[in-house]
Amino acid sequence: MYKILLVCLGNICRSPTAEGVLAKKITQQGLSRRFQVDSAGTAAYHTGESPDERSCRAAARRGYDLTPLRARQVMASDFEEFDLILAMDHANLSSLMQNCPAQLQHKLGLFLHYHPDSIEEVPDPYYDGESGFERVLDLVEVAADALIKDLVK
């Protein structure tokens, strides 16, 4: 089993959205026995909470159910346990780098590295209007397809 961890700051907007989208695409493509997805936040502000209602609503409109997900903070064992750890923005990646042992840092990267356009960050929609949540989904859906393509090639 190849394990992928998606990471943002609060684990209530971007990374649970990415988890929900990627997990559904993996299932739809019959790849559930090969790939497993989880998400976490670099901060503990929202530990135990469901994703933001605006994320849940936007995702539901496109057929993804984020409501069973619960926020958690990245832990030291994640760096051992996961094969690929992808951050939503540069600040998330810097936090991961600071906490990850040097010999495991090859597992870290940016999720949008897989997006075909040269966009590097999923913008944080938390303080934004509904359109920010749609933008997250637009970016995440394209990157998730490209990531799966890359992993199965």
Interface residue list for ligand 4NP (CB under 6 A): 8-14, 45, 124, 126
Structure tokens at 117: 């356009």
3-state secondary structure string across 34-70 = CEEEEEEECCCCCCCCCCCHHHHHHHHHCCCCCCCCC
Active site residue 61: no
- 14 catalytic, yes or no? yes
| Of residues 15 and 107, the one with the C-beta less far from ligand 4NP | 15
Exactly one of 13, 14, 78, 89 is catalytic; which is it?
14
Which one from 8, 13, 56, 100 is the annotated catalytic residue? 8
Quote the least distance from Cβ 97 to ligand 4NP, whole Å.
17
Dist. CA 138–CA 135, nearest whole Å: 5
CB 74 within 8 A of CB 80: no
**40 versus 147: smaller Cβ distance to ligand 4NP:** 40
Nearer to ligand 4NP, 11 or 64 (CB): 11
